[in-house]
Structure 1
Amino acid sequence: MYFDLDRRLYFYLDGGWRASTRLPGNLRVGLYGPVTLEMDLAEPYRRYDEHRHSYPPGHGKKKNKHKKW
């Protein structure tokens, strides 16, 4: 899922890529720790495979969150 701040549009997969100002009820933001990307593309999902590889689920979470010193 992507969100374009300037256009205030979400891009999400629903059988294909969709764009909307609102997400469908079955989608939630922030389930896996968001990643912020600076992109100059009208269709950010065109680099989805590259982003999915570079930022797997959980990538944005802090490591050793519960580690005691």
Structure 2
Amino acid sequence: MKSTQRLSDLTVMSADQLQEELLKLKKEQFNLRFQRATGQLENTSRVSQVRKDIARIKTLQRSKTASASA
């Protein structure tokens, strides 16, 4: 996910789209951790951006499932 993508873009996504986006971000997070461990990471702030984006998506997923069950 690009850092310019906002919360409003995520809220209009379906549950499947959110799951796909979450999978992409987790792969990116793994690659960033690997780059950090090998000393090849140049943009260190991207690690925290990805973590926050993952948290946003998980929060939206929980709120959508809670509203669907209520």
Normalised-by-shorter TM-score class:
under 0.3
Which structure has greater strand proportion? 1
Query: Given the two structures, how large is their TM-score scaled by the length of structure 2?
Result: 0.25
Query: Given the two structures, how large is their TM-score scaled by the length of structure 1?
Result: 0.25
Which structure has greater helix proportion? 2
